[in-house]
A and B are shown apart, each in its own frame.
Chain A
Amino acid sequence: MLACKKCMFLTEEEKCPLCSGELSKEWQGMLVVIDHTSSDIAEHMGIKANGRFALKVR
């Protein structure tokens, strides 16, 4: 699984499906967002989509 360098979305695809950003295999931590409209954590991180996100990407 790779993480988007821009929005941190985790994906198996070749390009980020959310922002078409560049992907990296160097990532750590995970946030699984189930309901981004209710989640304070997602809001805090500026995440406006459901799915899996890394907490740190480089």
Chain B
Amino acid sequence: MKKNILGDFEEVTFPHTIFALKTALGHEKTVAENLGHKAKRKGNNIYAILSPMNLRGYVLLEGEKNLKAVEELIKGVQYVRGIVGGERDIDLKEIEHYLAPKPIVADITEGDIVEIINGPFKGEKARVKQIDTGKEEITVELFEAMVSIPVTIKGDSVRVLEKEENR
């Protein structure tokens, strides 16, 4: 609260923003949880803390654009290495892609030649027969198999060797 020109008290409000924090590698989630507990306790006007799966060494902090409050919040918290870019604002638009991750099977199309990279068929080459985007599974036909039995595997257990459209 501060006094305005008429001598009345008014609430000081800050606009809304997103800060990026540098963290120790591999401790992103721990930092998010610990900052979450602290923010809840202290009422620093932090609304959410995000640890995206493909952003190593950083967490994103949504709250009031109040650098002092964020500095206060991160003080003494293990694995936090500091605020990135200081006052620079990050817009929700810039981080939206972290919130709606691309499905694992999005880059795979029917007919692609893939190599299986884990599981019992590791190292085998196969042709993609069917894709289940919801389950992130693909059904493939192994080249080396004596009888062609379709095998259903997770979308992230293959590497595309040859795209159908390029053949």
Question: Which A positions have Cβ atoms within 8 angstroms of B?
Answer: 28-36, 38-42, 44-45, 52, 55-56, 58
A40 close to B33 (CB less than 8 A): no
Q: Is B52 an interface residue (CB 8 A)?
A: yes
A-binding residues in B (CB < 8 A): 16, 18, 28-29, 32-33, 35-36, 39-40, 46-53, 62, 92, 95-96, 98-99, 101, 135-136
Of chain B, the residue at the smallest CB distance from A28 is B53
Report the number of A-B residue pairs with Cβ-Cβ less than 8 Å: 75
Complex A-B, nearest 9 residue pairs according to Cβ-Cβ distance, in ascending order: A32-B36, A29-B53, A39-B47, A28-B53, A39-B48, A32-B49, A30-B51, A38-B47, A35-B47
A33 pairs with B48, CB closer than 8 A: yes
Nearest residue (CB) in A for B156 is A58
Whether B53 and A31, one on each chain, are in contact in the complex, defined by CB atoms closer than 8 angstroms, is no
Are B47 and A34 in touch, CB under 8 angstroms? yes
A52 CA to B6 CA in the complex, in Å?
A: 44
A34 and B50 contact, Cβ closer than 8 Å, known pairs A45-B99, A55-B99, A56-B101: no
Task: Please state if B48 and A34 are interface contacts (CB–CB under 8 Å).
Answer: yes
How distant is the Cα of A14 from the Cα of B5 in the complex, in angstroms? 57
Residue of A nearest to B47 (CB): A39
Chain B residues contacting A40 (CB-CB under 8 Å) are 16, 47, 62, 92
Complex CA distance for A17 and B148, rounded to whole angstroms: 45
